[in-house]
Amino acid sequence: MRSELDFLYERQLQTRIRIAYFIAFFVFGLLFLRLWFLQVVYGTNYRELSENNRIRTQKVKAPRGFILDSTGRILASNRPSFDISLVPQDTRDSDRVLERLSELLEEDVSVFKQKVEQSRGRPPFEPVKLQTDVTREILGLVLTHKLDLPGVVVESTPVRSYPYGSLASHVLGHMGEISQKELDRFKDPQRYQIGSFVGKSGVEQKKEGYLTGEDGGYQVEVNAVGYKINIMGRVDPTPGHDVVLTINAELQKTAEDSLGGKAGAVVAVDPRNGRILAMVSSPTFDPNLFSLGISARDWQELISNPEHPLMNRCIQGMHPPGSTYKLVTAAAAMEEGLVTKETSFFCNGMYKLGNRTYRCWKRPGHGNVSLVKGMVESCDVYFYHLGSQLGPDQLSDYAKGFGFGTPTGISLQNEKGGFIPTSAWYKRKYGIPWQAGESLSIAIGQGSNLATPLQLVMAYAAMANGGKLYTPYCIERVVSVEGVVLEDNNPLRKRGIPLSKENRDLLKECLWGVVNTPTGTGTLAAISEKDVSGKTGTAQVVSLTKKKENTGRDTFADHAWFAAYAPGNEARIAVVVFVEHGGHGGSAAAPIAHTVISRFFELEEEGNV
């Protein structure tokens, strides 16, 4: 017979068993509930995470469109860049791997570690670039020791390449890493991300939207150490579109070589439509320096260079046009009825205005000077007379009619508009009325007159083509990979120059005489049977007194100009040459124009223009 104590013990045991059952049920319930959440609620998410450990998406950078010259020669293309990267997820001991890599490459390991540290916060399966554009020797070394470098991968990406180096660099432009401002402006995450390279100047910048393609990618299956096992899917990248320029590479090279490294500019255009045939700004630069990000040292050398190689002198260099501007002064005087072909003035080498003497470039003087002789021999005194009769505002009106004082409208950024003074501007600036002596200075292209080489060549092109002023253009068309023309530029005529046919024919006779008569100032530009016409210009940098006080200093030497077109009656090329501190236009600039025009006719005969 059981005692009461036995009943009490049995009841306690049953209670404990029920509690144990309850705890066990509760624990298993929690586990079941957790498994249900993991598999049902979060199953898709964890499945994706699991797949990402095994399947990775790798981007394939789209090649940028080519830039070609007018004959189809490739001026900007792409080349493969082999980069050494680290996938953090694929290495257990990144410090050891980086140390081993630094030993092989003989690099400071701290540089590698810093790059990995800077990538913190990014997905661990995204490669971190350690070295870009490595040599094939380094590439072979890394691949040979691949088993010792878990997580280290070799990537190949297309980078911009300019096979002719600095040729036409100011037209082509250069690349650079995208800024936050540009990212916000483009608003196209499929094509532009942090680290993307975009055009920063020239055609690269102007046609960025066409040149940049759309990136592709592929899904790869990898094993536990990151090796590719299988490619599971692929989307091919779409290359950018090609841009065809009006520039002729052969003529461009001739023009660059003819400057001989001197600071200056050469612009050649087809006067019949405004097509730029060559555009040279010297000194130049190599855009390949920017393709992978320019080094601090190279950048400092460029921006500290006193000759400013990054500046496009053709559209940004503003200087007094010198005697090339006498074309405008003569046109204004003729149209206003102040002079005819027979109107003469006497030049004894100086012109007196009040108590001041204005000298002619020819000290003994030119004697009796007609309009033709005044242009052919570039007599300053003759144009002093015209300037004093015209005044600043009439000269300004005609100058603007020839395209001076405003940008030409070429599709390159940061074009300057030059400057043409007026009496109102003078009053605002100096607080006094226009001074008569200023009229003499601007009449010969000195004083406050400022023009760019492109403005000047378009004015002379208008003289050559019958008076039509065109908007210059250097981009011919944009073509897709399939050969479809997406954009085709046509000549755009702005207006006619303010000059009658009769007066234009007379001035053309004068310009022909500058080059083809024995007393002309531009005889060094003459080409047998090619009828070159033109005008020399020498732009004074400092006064004659200062020049005497500082003899031997190049920075005080005059600028040299020469503007020309050929052949006279059916002009197919117009050229302007500007040589900074080159001296006289007839001796420094005219021979360069001779070389460029001669080469143009050679190419034309070969059928390569």
99-110 per-position pLDDT tens digit:
888 888 778 888
- The total of other beta-carbon atoms located within 10 Å of residue 353's CB is 14
pLDDT at 118 exceeding the cut of 80: no
Are 180 and 192 in contact by the 8 Å Cβ rule? The answer is no
Q: Which of 379, 395, 498, 400 is closest to 438 using CA atoms? A: 395
Tell me the pairing of strands 367-369 and 345-347. Answer: antiparallel
Show the tokens assigned to 290: 């920017």
DSSP β-bridge partners for residue 576: 267, 563
The active-site residue, picked from 70, 281, 282, 323, is: 323
pLDDT at 80 exceeding the cut of 80: yes
Burial (Cβ within 10 Å: 0-12, 13-18, ≥19) of residue 365: middle
Q: What pTM does this model have?
A: 0.85
pLDDT in tens, 546-586: 444 444 445 678 999 999 999 988 999 999 999 999 999 99
pLDDT at 339 exceeding the cut of 80: yes
The CA distance from 40 to 423, in Å, is: 84
249-306+317-606: CATH topology is Beta-lactamase (3.40.710)
- Residue position matching structure tokens 């490294």: 261
> Looking at residue 141, what is its pLDDT?
83
pLDDT at 211 exceeding the cut of 60: yes
The alpha carbon of residue 332 and the mean position of all alpha carbons in its chain are separated, in whole angstroms, by 36
Average pLDDT for residues 363-380, to the nearest whole number?
97
- Residue position matching structure tokens 């320029």: 245
pLDDT in tens, 181-199: 888 888 887 788 877 899 9
> Looking at residue 5, what is its pLDDT?
62
More confident residue, 477 or 118: 477
Are 242 and 479 in contact by the 8 Å Cβ rule? The answer is yes
Alpha carbon separation from 16 to 32, 322, 423, 494, 497 (Å, rounded): 24, 112, 111, 103, 111
Q: Which amino acid is residue 444, in one-letter code?
A: I
pLDDT at 117 exceeding the cut of 60: yes
Show the tokens assigned to 114: 């810093």
Task: Classify domain 57-245 by CATH architecture.
Answer: Alpha-Beta Complex (3.90)
For the chain, first and last CA: distance in Å?
126
Q: Which amino acid is residue 307, in one-letter code?
A: E
Catalytic annotation present for 323 = yes
Backbone angles phi, psi at 94, to 5 degrees: -65, -35
What mean pLDDT is reported for the chain? 88
In this prediction, residue 366 has a pLDDT band, given cuts at 50, 70 and 90, of very high
- The total of other beta-carbon atoms located within 10 Å of residue 222's CB is 18
In this prediction, residue 32 has a pLDDT band, given cuts at 50, 70 and 90, of confident
Are 402 and 459 in contact by the 8 Å Cβ rule? The answer is yes
**Portion of the chain with pLDDT greater than 70, in percent:** 88
> Looking at residue 551, what is its pLDDT?
43
Are 306 and 276 in contact by the 8 Å Cβ rule? The answer is no
In this prediction, residue 47 has a pLDDT band, given cuts at 50, 70 and 90, of low
pLDDT at 396 exceeding the cut of 70: yes
> Looking at residue 221, what is its pLDDT?
66
> Looking at residue 122, what is its pLDDT?
67
Classify 132 as helix, strand or coil.
coil
Q: Which amino acid is residue 348, in one-letter code?
A: N
pLDDT at 470 exceeding the cut of 90: yes
The CA distance from 390 to 449, in Å, is: 15
Give the chain's radius of gyration (CA, Å): 36
Average pLDDT for residues 367-382, to the nearest whole number?
97
pLDDT at 57 exceeding the cut of 80: no
How is the chain split into domains, by residue range? Answer: 4-41, 57-245, 249-306+317-606
> Looking at residue 552, what is its pLDDT?
45
